[in-house]
């Protein structure tokens, strides 16, 4: 459970930044080179590479170097970790709202 929690923390930390979320969104359409990804953002390449390393460290993306080109690919399996957690939270909150609805609509009165 502790490892699951640590992995989930890494994913949330990686997704906490708008630039990294944009990179994930773009990679959802398919692999792209670091250069192509970096062109979309107003920052120097070394600054952008910090974002790439964070995403790679969290396991959300994989990179592969061929010659001078580093290509990034989305790791959809790692996103499944987030999807599982969100489904669990949805279930918890659905149960809570269902209980609240039953409480509010219960017409029996204690007298």
- Please report, for the domain that includes residue 81, its CATH number: 1.10.10.10
CB 33 within 8 A of CB 70: yes
Q: pLDDT tens string for the chain (111 positions)?
A: 667 778 888 999 999 999 999 999 999 999 999 999 999 999 999 999 999 999 999 999 999 999 999 999 999 999 888 888 888 878 778 887 877 888 888 876 654
* Residue 88 maps to a domain: yes
Residue 111: the pLDDT is 44
* Residue 110 maps to a domain: no
* Residue 46 maps to a domain: yes
Number of domains in the chain: 1
- Range of the structural domain that residue 44 is part of: 2-105
Residue 19: the pLDDT is 97
User: How far is C-alpha 61 from the chain's CA centre?
Assistant: 11
Q: Whole-prediction pTM value? A: 0.76
């Amino acid at each position: 459970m502790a490892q699951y929690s640590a992995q989930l923390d890494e994913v949330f930390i990686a997704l906490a930044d708008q630039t990294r979320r944009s990179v994930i969104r773009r990679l959802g359409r398919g692999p792209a080179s670091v250069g192509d990804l970096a062109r979309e953002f107003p920052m120097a390449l070394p600054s952008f590479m910090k974002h790439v390393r964070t995403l790679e460290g969290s396991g959300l993306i994989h990179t592969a170097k061929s010659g001078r080109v580093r290509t990034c690919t989305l790791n959809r399996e790692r996103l499944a970790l987030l999807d599982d957690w969100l489904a669990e939270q949805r279930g918890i909150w659905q149960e809570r709202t269902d209980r609240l609805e039953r409480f509010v609509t219960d017409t029996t009165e204690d007298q």
